[in-house]
Structure 1
Amino acid sequence: MAVAVSYPGVYIEEFTPAPPIQGVATSIVAMLGPAPSGPILQPTLVTSWDQFKQVFGSQPLPGFYLWYAVQGFFQNSGQLLYVVRVSNAAAAAGVLTDLAGADTIQVHARRIGAAGNSIQVVASDVSALTNLPAFTNGPSIVSVTGTALTFASADDAVKFRPGDVVIVDGDPTHRANVLSINQATVTLSQPLPAAAAGQLLRLTDLVGGQDALVRFTDAATVSAYLTPGAYLEITDGVSTETVVVKTVAVETIMLSTSPPPLVTYRVTLTQPVHNNLSLASLNATTHEFKLVVSVGAAPPSETYNFLSMEPTSPRYYGLQVNGSSGMIQLSVASPPPPELPYQNLPQGQTVTLAAGADENLAGLTAGDYQDGLDSLLNVDVNVVTIPDAVGYADPMAATIQGALLDHCQGAPPHVGSRFAIFNSKLGDSITDVANRVQPLASFGGFGAMYYPWVLVPPAAPPPGSPPPAVGPPNLLVPPSGHIAGLFARTDNSRGVHKAPAGLQANLQGTIGVESVLTDIEQGLLNMSYGVNVIRVFRGSRPTVWGARTTALVAGNTNWLHVSTRRLFLFLEGSISEGIRFGVFEPNNIELWGKLKRAITAFLTRVWRDGALFGATPKDAFYVRIDDALNPPDQMALGILTIEIGVRPAYPAEFIVVRIGIWYGGSTITEG
């Protein structure tokens, strides 16, 4: 925007450059599997091994591997982990219907299992307040001087409050607002005719489509139930309608003639009343509901009275019940009921919860694991693994790992944004693992297979239990949890561009492998199938000695290496988030320049970190935004196209040393 100049001199105008692009996280991991406890199908963030044991159980489930995978993740310096407990247990549920017959409140047993099927919920209509009278103040005016009205006493005047809308009794045409009260004088927003002297001044009747304010008075118990969100049925004996309270102000008025103060309640409504209502005979009744919870024929164990359907109310059922009930949890029915207050209140009914089921781990299906993957769709994670997938016989094991691949690589038109870690099955031979990896071929390289299983110490016995005569043996577990921790450790120490393999890629917490492979055996798996082998070298613990994706078996060597795919996931995510400021900005040369500078600065930092190959930034990447990419017809459709080319630093997977005898000018080479 041009500076508005007037006098000769120097004018300062600040400009705002494009914000720098921040790198996104690369090692937030998600793991799925059965656990002894914890929320079901709810991604739960854990940041330590102790936290996991506290939430999901201090001991592993026999025959399952999630517990060991999480332990391996944190042993290898993993930091952020989402755990999804996979289970076929279900909480008993039921639904309350409203006065119009539509579903209004979903009821779930708080504890999962078939025991919830005996829970009964009885709903009934109740009213905390009935026939609450409107406040009708009507003292006689002594004199009128413009906008100032004088009354016989201060007690007559003080009953009016600023904001009241008043009229002279019998003359509804002259409405005025009370501005202030001083002793026996009330000042209005506009003058009343002098003939008003000797007449009664009172609060105005409610005019349909206009007024949304009314004052009530009653016992002190009113304040507990006349609250924001309350449903009021108001009537003057002629017209009746239901309104919703927006705000309530308690007004305490001290009178000289009566030691107990006069208490009124100034109520504003969410919208004006529909009908004309006479204040003289106006009264209100609240509408709430009551829930009684019991188990079978046992006496009621929980009772919740005067509940509201409005989330703004302190009596809202979600606050009153969910915060204290040990038996049920309530939520809005899906879809929410279409009825207006107070028709959305539950009708009188008795609901017995049903469909609760105990956990049957032997009956888990691939669909249960798919449900777990679906729960991650809106969670920000980078790496996903299911260590228990290979604990099942085929074809279920292959189906689960295939679902994991589909989840990570996405399906057109959605590009993949996650990386999958696959395991071989216990006992797989070289031929078996070669066959297992082929259905997991990912043309874009969104997954990697690791082989074989690793040997770990057994879980410590529960605290306080007597020590066994003979300690449990070490056991073999899938390596994916340890591998995920290695990913995080490598990312934090070197960067996502460093392949998670090599002499520094030892797996903490492991003491051996299922089978020791030779160089020849690894060469076959590495070159032909892209299987990453865990090796044991002299003097070291098991070490990851491979960094290939399953793109090799898909025939695409562009995404051959784990580090290349994960680097591009990092670049794509960071740039996508970092240039969001440009959405809906004018598509002009200025915006092109901002975007190009922001992306160039970011990629330069990535190059300096060693992730891109080239002696200079120009050798390592380019950013192109020009007319050829953005012709007028595309710009008219709101499309801005940016082309970015980067040259990743590939891992030195094979180091070839040429050595020979040198005679000071000639060379003899062996080879």
Structure 2
Amino acid sequence: MPVQVSYPGVYIQEEPSGVRTITGVSTSVALFIGMAGRGPMDTAVSLLSYADYERTYGSDTTVSETTDQVRQFFLNGGSQAYIIRIASGEQPAAADFQNEDGAVVLRITAAEAGRIGDSIRVEVNYATAQPESSFNLVVSRETITSSGATLLVDTETIGNLSMNSAEPRFVETAVAQGSRLIRAEVQPTAPAPFEGYSMSGRAESAPGILAALNAELGGAAGSMQVSVDNGPFAPVTVTGPLAALSDLQDAINTASSAVGGGTVTVQAEPVPGGTEEVLLIRSNAAGGRVRVQAGASNDLAGPMNLGTSNDGLEVDGHAARRPAPTGVFGSLGSLDSTSGTWLDRLSGFLRADPGDLPDLTLATGSRSDTATITGFTRPTFWETTPAAGTSLRNARGALELLAAQVALAGPHYVPAVQGYRLVLNPTYPGFAEQETLTPSTTGTYDIGNAGSGYLGRDPNVRRAPLGAFASPSNYVVGVAAGADGNLPTPADYSAAYVIASREIDIFNLLMLPRVLNDGSGNGQTDAQRAQLWGPASAFCLTERAFLIIDPPDAWTTAQSATSGPTGIANVRIGVVGDHAMVVWPRLRIPDPLGGPLRTIDPAGSVAGVAARIDGSRGVWKAPAGLEASVIGVRGVERRIADAENGLLNPQAINVVRQFPNGIVIWGSRTLAGFDNSGENDYKYVPVRRFALFLEESLYRGLQFAVFEPNDEPLWAQIRLTAGAFMNNLFRRGAFQGQKASDAYFVKCDAETTTQNDINLGIVNVIVGFAPLKPAEFVVVTIRQLAGQVQT
């Protein structure tokens, strides 16, 4: 801004130079659109190596040539590519998961469409810091080794999940952010949330909870920290003696409201079947929760067994909406405190005299493999009449003892105590992960039959499969098998072009690898492929990109390629010819699995060679000639002789030839560059690609001029900026001419931009350049020197 002078002296003022730098855009970013054996559908994925491709899309080569062409692109010098996987009628594998009571609560779907999703296995466990509120998902992909053994790969654990959408670890968002294999969706059939609560693990003979609380206070002030309905922990202080439990309720509500938390109801909850009661702090909100931690001084949480770490029971209002744990499990029933079921079964569990438990034998549904667990003995601390101060620790201790006895019985099962559940996971050989176990047990403490005893539940599968193997099961219901989809239609390709325009900043080379075998066993025909080139070239026209067309299968000779109903003239129909090139013949490459040589289209290899030459010589150098050797190939489908090349080149069919020094690309004409076509400006591939490079670079580099005052200062800036960019290219040898004035010009002044243009908000810039055209024909003239006559 101008300096404001106010006193005699020297003032310093900085002026912008007006110089802006135009950076040349990339010229060899590839885009492949086609089918693949796995990977994300209908989205553009950026890759920097073939290893990236394998991690995302696998290495299957039977579905389409996408894998082979991407490999060839990177092998021949490509450095960046985008992949858009498409298909018609594709479907991801999915399964519905039920809670312990048999309600469908969660649908888990493979993140990738296709049959690959049928290999996904999901484990559910409650081994978390809050086992009656959250859960974990352990997800793997199952493969079969060459010896026939089952192997789990790509295993990932998504932990501490909640069925409450207000929680930071809500299952839908946490899975979407943390898993590459699956997606999760809570189902409308999930039960309604109840009021969450924190229950003391300490039971007292009624009415004894208030007396026990006052005894711990001892007439002084006691404290604890309480979080209600996801609010922050608030310090709660009470001074004894308390006249009623409502005094504690009022103190909690006052402290919680001050920090933005919810409110609670505090009561003494009777234990069914006995004379005891427990302290219950229940949220007043459906789906709420209550958490209790130790206080800063004279802690009440520890002595009253409040909080999970103090052997209390804390249940989220969404706990019953969780999917059932996988494996053979037993639990005490509904955790809704208002139903009384859980306390009733807990009371019976603690009071019963089980004696010696029967043997537990489980077999798979379709195999003869069995495993027997023996040696259960009566826990010595179970009491038929619990004394005052009995803790829920007794119940957890009983489960731990059962788990220890299972472990002593042999290696057939791995036991775990998850909250107030005993879970057995089968490990014996021959067990199919997706099969349901069939228990053959009886007794008060049966953990293998629903409705039998205090722990009775139907067994779940060891690992739940998605898709084709998901049914039948007690807690997993099959929804849909994964389907790779059928041949992409022209509409699928058009949709991919929209995705590319929206998600990709810039790409330069477009390839459409052919489909070999879709989900119905069909491959693309020449007629189906011919429908793709016109829309693809039009898309390249709008995106300033270039299309590499693969040859039809019908091209078996030079004559069939240059004439007849399947010849080059048919390929040109409807195609933007100066934005495309066609290359023939197809290439022979090694099979990665050691099989015989396979034949693939050349587009991916040509794109890789173009990328390599762009980096070493510049986009103005034709991707052809002895320098344009194709790496990673063992031959061509048909060797081309000079005479045949003489038929093909005038028709703008670029050939790949096998010479003694290697296999090279031996042609660089656009599809419109055939002889007598009338196309002289963009007859050659490097000229067209160089022009696209200039257009895109100038388009991006001159954005600064938008909305600037349209007068000579702006025009001078444009001339300076564009001129500096063009001069740099001239110094690198991109143009014809011995001096800059012969090679290019930039004109932006009152002649190019009239007053009417200025009134319309238009500034006109004319950039001219003299392109380098390839020396397609080198003519050598040899003259014999006759003896000179001396005169």
**Judging changes above 3 Å, is the alpha-carbon distance between structure 1 residues 475 and 499 closer, same or farther for their aligned structure 2 residues?**
same
C-alpha root-mean-square deviation of aligned residues, in Å? 4.2
> Which residue of structure 1 aligns with residue 43 of structure 2?
42
**Judging changes above 3 Å, is the alpha-carbon distance between structure 1 residues 375 and 15 closer, same or farther for their aligned structure 2 residues?**
same
Gaps of 5+ in 2: 96-106, 119-183, 198-223, 242-247, 262-282, 289-316, 330-334, 336-463, 468-476, 517-522
Aligned-residue offset at 1:375: 2.6
> Which residue of structure 1 aligns with residue 654 of structure 2?
532
> Which residue of structure 2 aligns with residue 72 of structure 1?
72
**Judging changes above 3 Å, is the alpha-carbon distance between structure 1 residues 284 and 612 closer, same or farther for their aligned structure 2 residues?**
farther
Choose which of 569, 572, 578 in structure 2 pairs with 1:445: 578
Cα shift readout 1:372-417 (whole Å, capped 9, x = no counterpart): 333322212110101216962232011123332222123xxxxx41
SS at match of 1:397: helix
Choose which of 687, 703, 714 in structure 2 pairs with 1:564: 687
Aligned-residue offset at 1:286: 8.1
In 2: Cα distance, 1:287 partner to 1:641 partner: 64
Aligned-residue offset at 1:51: 2.1
Cα shift readout 1:547-578 (whole Å, capped 9, x = no counterpart): 01012256422111110111011111111111
> Which residue of structure 1 aligns with residue 10 of structure 2?
10
> Which residue of structure 1 aligns with residue 671 of structure 2?
550
In 1: Cα distance, 2:757 partner to 2:567 partner: 45
In 2: Cα distance, 1:4 partner to 1:327 partner: 74
> Which residue of structure 2 aligns with residue 375 of structure 1?
499
SS at match of 1:490: helix
Bigger drift between 80-89 and 120-129 goes to 120-129
| Residue correspondence of structure 1 range 495-534 to structure 2 within 5 A | 495-527=618-650, 529-534=651-656
**Judging changes above 3 Å, is the alpha-carbon distance between structure 1 residues 87 and 8 closer, same or farther for their aligned structure 2 residues?**
same
In 2: Cα distance, 1:394 partner to 1:388 partner: 10
SS at match of 2:768: strand
> Which residue of structure 1 aligns with residue 86 of structure 2?
86
Gaps of 5+ in 1: 95-105, 131-217, 227-248, 270-282, 306-324, 329-351, 411-415, 462-471, 667-671
Aligned-residue offset at 1:68: 1.4
Aligned-residue offset at 1:39: 1.1
SS at match of 2:23: coil
Cα shift readout 1:595-621 (whole Å, capped 9, x = no counterpart): 110000000011111111111111111
In 1: Cα distance, 2:108 partner to 2:54 partner: 29
In 1: Cα distance, 2:788 partner to 2:495 partner: 69
Bigger drift between 401-410 and 573-582 goes to 401-410
> Which residue of structure 1 aligns with residue 226 of structure 2?
220
> Which residue of structure 2 aligns with residue 430 of structure 1?
558
SS at match of 1:557: coil
Q: Is 1:53–2:177 an aligned residue pair?
A: no
SS at match of 1:536: strand
Aligned-residue offset at 1:80: 0.5
> Which residue of structure 2 aligns with residue 406 of structure 1?
538
Alignment length, in residue pairs?
A: 466
In 2: Cα distance, 1:220 partner to 1:436 partner: 80
**Judging changes above 3 Å, is the alpha-carbon distance between structure 1 residues 220 and 293 closer, same or farther for their aligned structure 2 residues?**
closer
SS at match of 2:681: helix
Aligned-residue offset at 1:5: 2.0
**Judging changes above 3 Å, is the alpha-carbon distance between structure 1 residues 457 and 221 closer, same or farther for their aligned structure 2 residues?**
same
Q: Normalising by structure 1, what TM-score?
A: 0.61
**Judging changes above 3 Å, is the alpha-carbon distance between structure 1 residues 517 and 129 closer, same or farther for their aligned structure 2 residues?**
same
Cα shift readout 1:304-331 (whole Å, capped 9, x = no counterpart): x9xxxxxxxxxxxxxxxxxxx9989xxx
Q: Is the 1:630–1:640 contact (alpha carbons within 8 Å) kept by the matching residues of 2?
A: yes
What is the one-letter code of the residue matched to 1:632? Q
**Judging changes above 3 Å, is the alpha-carbon distance between structure 1 residues 444 and 597 closer, same or farther for their aligned structure 2 residues?**
farther
In 2: Cα distance, 1:648 partner to 1:326 partner: 61
SS at match of 1:78: coil
> Which residue of structure 1 aligns with residue 113 of structure 2?
112
Cα shift readout 1:344-367 (whole Å, capped 9, x = no counterpart): xxxxxxxx9989862244x44343
In 2: Cα distance, 1:220 partner to 1:253 partner: 7
Aligned-residue offset at 1:12: 2.4
**Judging changes above 3 Å, is the alpha-carbon distance between structure 1 residues 403 and 123 closer, same or farther for their aligned structure 2 residues?**
farther
SS at match of 1:30: strand
> Which residue of structure 1 aligns with residue 729 of structure 2?
606
**Judging changes above 3 Å, is the alpha-carbon distance between structure 1 residues 267 and 558 closer, same or farther for their aligned structure 2 residues?**
farther
**Judging changes above 3 Å, is the alpha-carbon distance between structure 1 residues 110 and 500 closer, same or farther for their aligned structure 2 residues?**
closer
Cα shift readout 1:83-130 (whole Å, capped 9, x = no counterpart): 222223124899xxxxxxxxxxx99764536999x9981356658789
In 2: Cα distance, 1:634 partner to 1:268 partner: 61
Choose which of 592, 605, 628 in structure 2 pairs with 1:459: 592
What is the one-letter code of the residue matched to 1:358? A
In 1: Cα distance, 2:235 partner to 2:19 partner: 56
> Which residue of structure 1 aligns with residue 781 of structure 2?
658
Q: Is the 1:120–1:294 contact (alpha carbons within 8 Å) kept by the matching residues of 2?
A: no
**Judging changes above 3 Å, is the alpha-carbon distance between structure 1 residues 392 and 220 closer, same or farther for their aligned structure 2 residues?**
same
In 2: Cα distance, 1:485 partner to 1:533 partner: 16
| Residue correspondence of structure 1 range 112-151 to structure 2 within 5 A | 112=113, 121=187, 122=189, 126=193
> Which residue of structure 2 aligns with residue 32 of structure 1?
33
SS at match of 1:11: coil
In 2: Cα distance, 1:81 partner to 1:56 partner: 13
What is the one-letter code of the residue matched to 1:220? V
Aligned-residue offset at 1:627: 1.7
SS at match of 1:388: coil
Q: Is 1:419–2:546 an aligned residue pair?
A: yes
> Which residue of structure 1 aligns with residue 510 of structure 2?
384
Q: Is the 1:110–1:327 contact (alpha carbons within 8 Å) kept by the matching residues of 2?
A: no
In 2: Cα distance, 1:266 partner to 1:646 partner: 73
In 1: Cα distance, 2:20 partner to 2:195 partner: 56
Bigger drift between 369-378 and 66-75 goes to 369-378
In 2: Cα distance, 1:78 partner to 1:7 partner: 64
What is the one-letter code of the residue matched to 1:384? L
> Which residue of structure 1 aligns with residue 697 of structure 2?
574
What is the one-letter code of the residue matched to 1:388? R
SS at match of 1:576: helix
Choose which of 526, 529, 543 in structure 2 pairs with 1:397: 529
**Judging changes above 3 Å, is the alpha-carbon distance between structure 1 residues 129 and 14 closer, same or farther for their aligned structure 2 residues?**
farther
In 2: Cα distance, 1:506 partner to 1:445 partner: 24
What is the one-letter code of the residue matched to 1:437? I
Aligned-residue offset at 1:662: 4.2
**Judging changes above 3 Å, is the alpha-carbon distance between structure 1 residues 590 and 285 closer, same or farther for their aligned structure 2 residues?**
farther
Aligned-residue offset at 1:447: 0.7
> Which residue of structure 2 aligns with residue 632 of structure 1?
755
In 2: Cα distance, 1:584 partner to 1:254 partner: 65
Q: Is the 1:119–1:293 contact (alpha carbons within 8 Å) kept by the matching residues of 2?
A: no
Aligned-residue offset at 1:424: 0.7
Cα shift readout 1:256-313 (whole Å, capped 9, x = no counterpart): 99999974556799xxxxxxxxxxxxx9968899695879xx999xxxx9xxxxxxxx
**Judging changes above 3 Å, is the alpha-carbon distance between structure 1 residues 598 and 93 closer, same or farther for their aligned structure 2 residues?**
farther
**Judging changes above 3 Å, is the alpha-carbon distance between structure 1 residues 536 and 113 closer, same or farther for their aligned structure 2 residues?**
closer
What is the one-letter code of the residue matched to 1:23? G
SS at match of 2:510: strand
In 2: Cα distance, 1:612 partner to 1:509 partner: 33
**Judging changes above 3 Å, is the alpha-carbon distance between structure 1 residues 120 and 443 closer, same or farther for their aligned structure 2 residues?**
closer
What is the one-letter code of the residue matched to 1:225? N
Q: Is the 1:444–1:559 contact (alpha carbons within 8 Å) kept by the matching residues of 2?
A: no
**Judging changes above 3 Å, is the alpha-carbon distance between structure 1 residues 71 and 618 closer, same or farther for their aligned structure 2 residues?**
same
SS at match of 1:500: coil
In 2: Cα distance, 1:354 partner to 1:636 partner: 64
In 1: Cα distance, 2:28 partner to 2:678 partner: 27
> Which residue of structure 1 aligns with residue 168 of structure 2?
none
Cα shift readout 1:179-217 (whole Å, capped 9, x = no counterpart): xxxxxxxxxxxxxxxxxxxxxxxxxxxxxxxxxxxxxxx
